[in-house]
Every structure is written in structure tokens, then in C-alpha cells.
Amino acid sequence: MTPPDAETADASRHDARFHATSYLRFLRLAFRLATEGSWLFYAWMFVLTCIALVGTHAWAVQVRDGMAVTAMTDHVSWGLYIANFTFIVGLAAGGVMMVIPAYIYHDRDMHDTVIIGELLAIASIVMCLLFVVVDLGRPDRFWHIMPFVGKFNWPISMLTWDVIVLNGYLLLNLHICGYLLYKRFLGETPDKRWYVPFVFLSIAWAISIHTVTAFLYCGLGGRPFWNTALLAPRFLTSAFVAGPAFIVVVLQIIRRMTKMKIGEGSIRTLVGIMRITILINLVMLVSEIFTSFYTGGSHGVSAKYLFFGHHGHGALVPWMWTSVTFSIIAAILLMRPKVHEHLWTLDIACVLGFAGIWIEKGMGLIIPGFIPSTLHEWVEYLPSATEWKITAGIWAGGLLIYTLLLKVAIPVFSGEANKLSN
Amino acid sequence: MNDTSQGCGSNCSCKGGGGARDDSLFSRRNLLKGGAMTLGAAAFAKALSPLAHWTREETSVEEFLQKHYRELTKIDLELVLKRLEKDAKENYGTDVTITDHRPQKGVKFGYALNLSICIGCRRCAEACHHENNHDRATSNSYIRVLEMTKGSMDMEKGNVHYDHPVPHPDRFYMPVQCQQCDNPPCVDVCPVEATWKEEDGIVVVDYNWCIGCRYCEAACPYHARRFNWKKPVIPKDEINPNQSYLSNRIRPQGVMEKCTFCLHRTRDGRMPACLEACPTGARVFGNLLDPHSEIRKVIDTKRVFVLKEELGTRPSFFYFFDE
Ligand code: SF4
Ligand code: SF4
């Protein structure tokens, strides 16, 4: 597939006009690839569009009628949106777990599949940004948070850091993926100078997006449940379970649905990562639980509420035990020798691990931070129908974007698109 | 390179092996695609229609473009105040005056509360509710009164939902409101500087700049901030018409609000509404920089303490026992 090196020399001689026309052709091809497919593809897109529509409408109503349509209160002032935001930042960071083996350890199998992880990062960041927007009481004032135009409280506010790192990560991945695909489309070898530095930057950046997101919470002294140094490491570890778990499933779907060759090695490497990270994550959970329950005090009150409830308040108890059970089952399943050859076991482990962390890092982390409140009032929270609709809508939108990106990238990357066009 | 360009322009298909296809702009396939996309776009426009209504009714170009309070010139501000008064008239059907009260030189406000004589009648909370034009439906107030069990200062043992004659002999009462911290975490976290500490120590919010992210509400350790989950509802004859830009004017939907030590009164030399409503005289308010003020006398002669001192927020709100 890779053209001879002689062509690289050619590449440097292209002038701006050449790129102007061929980039347009590239976009045209991308558009065509993205809008053509089997009936299954159309049905999938149709369903996702419908869910996204329901979410969009629910959001418009929320803006009109106020956030009273959510179940949030002055006591629990962040809910399902921020919970999903936190989890999905992890998904975006987790995508980079394909990049490290591919570029640092020159894993050949990974090289062919790395783009799948990078595209996941793009789709996830878009979802993150959407989750932040739907959580705003005044989305019409979004420009206030833009540097230079509005008033950007940098470097004091951690949220401004998050805005920077998330958008930076989005741009980095857009550049890397866009550049590699365009070069493939031209049939040229990508120039290392134009992407390798960015790839390494994106690895460091992936760590930073999740660390900064953890700092959003653990920097708040008034919320003992979050105020722990373990938060950022825990975030990273669980991200490196959820990200690979998602990608393992996606790789198998791609193997079934397209002609792309997915090497055994990719899945094996990802499974190797998950096996360890899921255990580390459980160890950290145990150490958090020990500190909370053995010492007691204010840090312990929320944790106790989370796992066992408090005087008849126990909305989160079933969530949390589901999460713990899922994670433990996933960890055990992943220990099965040669699990990458037993696809059913592997898939169940991935789904359980993913769902377990979605709860642990979402509802299980954000909500107990507010319960009891800072004046020790016990007000519980369970998401309202509006919140579920909007959340489902954003997930559908994210999957829609991811599907389209893969739909373009896979044929271009494998050279199939070029062969056909010749 | 060239054959790529030709080929791609005319004949590519991701399905592969499909053979030559009609590629004209008006092929059946393209028409179908175009139709589906138009339909999709129309559906999204329809789904967003509640927004159009809201934009028309609740916002305006002037409001959208309004600058941060601290960047408004005198003339800008004048226009903004006029506009807000007009909006209040349209929305609530009553005439109000909205003024801009600035901090006075040489003043830093402090508040102290005598826990020995507070009887937990919640009249301060009620006065706040009316003075600050709070939403009637939620009976919102910036003050929460905790009923505490004797023998403990732990808020864990406190209860805000008590419902029996006060004072209960086995309990004492602790009203909590914004502590106007000198090191306010709520100000640090705000991503858009919509909330800040003024020279006289009062932490304020520009209700027209806040984006409603509620980060400050998560950061405040004293549950002092309130969010406008919906547009406040107040019958027009109950509205307090003496309003100030940074304090008790009726807040828009979707923004944060908080106690401002009634700056529309205190910056005019009057006392906060909660103090005037207190039947026991448990509340002491004044200028911390004036050595002869009553608040200074309390701090100098009583053993005062602040809430959650270990968090380093440095409150300007003090509590003391006095028997
Ligand atoms: S009490 Fe809360 S709202 Fe008031 S200044 Fe302190 S942190 Fe801010
Ligand atoms: S809710 Fe408003 S005041 Fe509070 S942090 Fe967000 S933008 Fe700032």
C-alpha cells in the first residue's frame, strides 16, 4: 500500500495550487464515502439521528424553561451531564493507548489501527464540549468564555485550563488524522516531521486532559469527597480501562463490517493493557474505601452514603454495587489465559468494564461530592427524563460522528478508496 | 498523481465492485441523499424551535453584546440600567429603580452573630426573601438557619427543617449565609470572572455576565450560592422596587446569585435587612476598618470564631457566644 520513497521527493514539489484542488477532491471523496453504504448503515444513521433529535429538542426546552426541568438543585448542582463529561474525557484520553504502542514501541499491528483510537478521541472531545454546553444555564453567553473576546479567568480557574486542554487535544487529533488521511489519499508517504512531533505531543496532552479534569474536582476544599490526591491517578487508570475496552469492541465490528485487516496484535496489546489497569483501578478503589471507612469523618460520610446509604437515603447504592460487581467480573474474565482468542469472554469483559467505569466515574463520583451538602443537608438526586434525553442525544451524536469518521478513514487508510478511484 | 485526480473525480465508490455508476448531479441516488439531508436539517430546525421563542422573549441584541460590568463606561452603564428597568416593567408589570451602588473608600464590611441569643425564628431569612426579590414559589433566601444539638458544633448534627416552636430548650441556632470570604474559592473557580470581591469586601455576581456553569456553587463551602433554575416569579405588588445592579434586582433565569450584605442598603449607610428583622439583636454589622464601630468592639472583646476555618477561606462573618 505504501508508495515507494521516490514519491516523497515529489511531494515536496507540490505547490499551493496543487493542494487547493486535490484537497477539494479529498473532501469530495470524504463526503461520498461518508454518505454511501449498506442498508444497515443507513438504518444505523437513521436511528442515531432520531435519538439526537429527541436530545436536541429536550435541550431547547431546557434553555427556554430553565434548568428546573432537570433534577438538579442548589444542593446537587451538577448531575448527569457533568458525570458523563468526566467519563468521556477519560474515553478521549484512553484512545491514546493505541498511540503509545504504535509510535513509541513501533508495534506494526498497532500502526494500522492507531487511527481508530485517534478518531475516537475526536468524537469524544466533541461530546465533552457538548456536555459542557448543555450544562450551562446561559449557553447564549458562550462567548464570555472565549479567550480575548470574553473574559478568560486564566490561569486561576481550573475550568479555563480544561477549555484549553480539551480544545487543544481536539485540534491536535484533527491535525494528525487529517494529515495522515490526506497523504494516504494522495498516495504519498506522510512526512514524519509533520506528524510525529504532534503524535508525541498528543500523548502528553491526553494525560493532561484527564489530570486537569480531575483537578476541577479535587481542588475544591469544601468538598471532602473529591478533595483527595488519588483522584487524578484514579481517573487516568480507569480511562485506560474504558478507552481500550471500547476500542476492542469497535475493532471487532470493523473486522466484520469492512475489509480492513485488523491484526491479532492490536487486540492482544489492548487486552494486555486492560488486564493491568482494571486491577490497579480496583486497588485504588479499595484504598479509597479503606481510608474513608476506617478514619470516618467528613470524607467518609459521602462514601458511606454511596455504598450503604444514610438513614433511608440510598439512591446511589444500587448504582455503585452494580459498578463494583461489573468491574470485578470484568477483571476476572480478563484474567482468562489467551482471552483475546475467546471473543465472547472478551466482549463481555469489555462491556462490563466499560459500564462499570461509566457508573463509577460518573454518578458514583460526581453526585456523592454534593451529598451531604456543605451544610450537611441530605438532598438526593436522580436524573430527570430531560437529562436522560439530552444525554442519550449527545451519545447518539458522538457515535454518529465516530461512524462517519471511520466510514471515511477506513477505506482511505487501507488504500481501498484509491484503488477504486484509479 | 494525475490518474488519481481523474479517477477520483468520476468514479469512486466505497462499495467497490459496483461497476460504473451514474455520477451526474441529479442521479437518483444523489437526489435521495439530498432529500434525506434536507429532511434531517429541517427536523433539527424544528427540534430547536423552542429556542427561537426564548430568544425573542427573553433576550435582546443589547443584552447579548453587553460588556462585563467592570468594563462598562458611565454612559454604557446608564443605558444598561435603563434597559433593565424597562425589562422589569415589561416582565413584572411594575416600576422599579435600578441604581449602581459603588463601594465607599475606607470601608470593609464585617458581620457578627451572637449564637447565645439567636432564637431560630428565621425572621432574617424571611426578610432576605422579600428584600432581595427572591422567587416566591421556592421561598428562596440567602440565609439558612441550622438547629444545632447542644454539645456539638458539628453541622452534621444540625437540621434546617425543624418545625416546632422556637427556641427549643435543648437546641441552639446558627444562621448561615455568605461569609464574604477574603480568600473566596467561588471567585477563583469562575471561568469568566463573573463573580469577584469588591473593595469593601463584598463578593458580587454580574448577573448579566454569568454563564451559569455552577462551578462556584460547587466550590463554596458554606452553601451560600443559589442558582436561578427558572425565571423568578414574584407578584408585582410584592416586588421591592429599590434595586441595585449588583444586588437585589430581579435575576434572570440561568444565572448565579448570592448574599451581597444588602449592598444597596449598606453602601448607603443603612443596615442589612436581616439585621433589621432580627427581634433579639443577635446580629452586629459594621465597618471593620473603623476602630469605634460596633463590629470591631465585638471582635475585640468577645471570643469570636469563623466557620470551617481550616479551609483557609478567611470569612468576614463571625460567630460568638455571650453569656
Ligand atoms: S461564603 Fe461561599 S459564596 Fe460567600 S464568599 Fe465564601 S465561598 Fe464565596
Ligand atoms: S455560575 Fe456564573 S458566577 Fe458561578 S462560576 Fe459559573 S459563570 Fe462564574
Q: Does A48 touch chain B (CB under 8 A)?
A: no
List of chain B residues whose C-beta atoms are within 8 Å of the C-beta of residue A374: 220-223
Q: What element of type H or E holds B188?
A: helix B185-189
Closest Cα partner for B175 from B240, B138, B208, B128? B128
In angstroms, the separation between the Cα of residue B59 and the nearest Cα of chain A is 9
> Tell me, what amino acid is at A35?
T
Q: Three cell numbers at A382?
A: 436522580
Share above pLDDT 70 across residues of chain A, in percent, rounded to a whole number: 95
Copy the grid coordinates of residue A145.
468564555
Helix (H) or strand (E) holding A211: helix A192-218
- Asked if B2 and A421 count as a contact pair (C-beta separation under 8 A), the reply is no
- Write the DSSP assignment of A46-66 as a string of letters: HHHHHHHHHHHHHHHHHHHH-
Q: Report CA dihedral (B273, B279, B281, B286) to the nearest 10 degrees.
A: 10
Atom of ligand 1 nearest to the CA of B195: 8
pTM: 0.93
Backbone angles phi, psi at B285, to 5 degrees: -130, 145
The answer to which of A52-66, A165-179, B53-67, B176-190 has the lowest mean pLDDT is: B53-67
Range A20-45 burial, b when 16+ CB lie within 10 A, else e = eebeebbeebbebbbbbbeeeeeeeb
CA A246/CA A91 separation, integer angstroms: 8
* Distance (Å, whole) CA B208 – CA A294: 47
What chain B residue is nearest to A149 in terms of C-alpha separation?
A: B67
Q: What are phi and psi of A179, to 5 degrees?
A: -65, -50
Q: State which of B256, B257, B258, B259 you would mutate to test the pocket of ligand 2, scoring each by most atoms of that ligand within 8 A of its C-beta.
A: B256
Identify which of B50, B218, B230 has the shortest CB distance to residue A220: B218
Phi, psi of B272 (to 5 degrees): -65, 155
ipTM (interface predicted TM): 0.92
Distance CA B61, CA B59 (A): 7
Residue B173 pairs with which residues in a beta bridge? B147
Q: Which atom of ligand 1 is nearest to the CA of B197?
A: 5
Question: What's the pLDDT tens digit per position in A75-99?
Answer: 999 999 999 999 999 999 988 877 8
Q: Which residues pair with B205 in a beta bridge?
A: B195
CA A314 – ligand 2 centroid, Å: 30
The 10s digit of each residue's pLDDT in B95-112 is: 999 999 999 999 999 999
Do A251 and A119 contact (CB within 8 A), yes or no? no
Query: Which grid coordinates are listed for B203?
Result: 463578593
* pLDDT over threshold 70, residue A51: yes
Chain A partners within 8 Å of B155 (Cβ): 375-376
- Residues in A 205-234 with any Cβ partner in B closer than 8 A: 216, 219-223
A35 touches chain B (CB under 8 A): yes
Cα-atom radius of gyration of chain B, to the nearest Å? Answer: 28
Give the pLDDT mean for A116-128: 95
Report which DSSP code applies to B257.
Answer: E
Cα distances (angstroms) measured from residue B80 to each of A310, B61, B76, B103, B253: 49, 12, 6, 19, 18
A169-218, pLDDT tens digit by residue?
A: 999 999 999 999 999 898 888 888 998 899 999 999 999 999 999 999 99
Q: Tell me whether strands B203-205 and B195-197 are parallel, antiparallel or unpaired.
A: antiparallel
Structural domains in chain A plus CATH codes? 69-416 (1.20.1630.10)
- Give residue-wise pLDDT tens across range A339-361: 888 999 999 999 999 999 999 99
Write down the residue that cell numbers 424551535 correspond to.
Answer: B49
Best probe residue, ligand 1, of B108, B189, B200, B220 (max atoms within 8 Å of C-beta): B220
B109-320 has CATH 3.60.9.10 classification = no
From residue A106, alpha-carbon distances to A103, A111, A204 in Å are 5, 7, 18
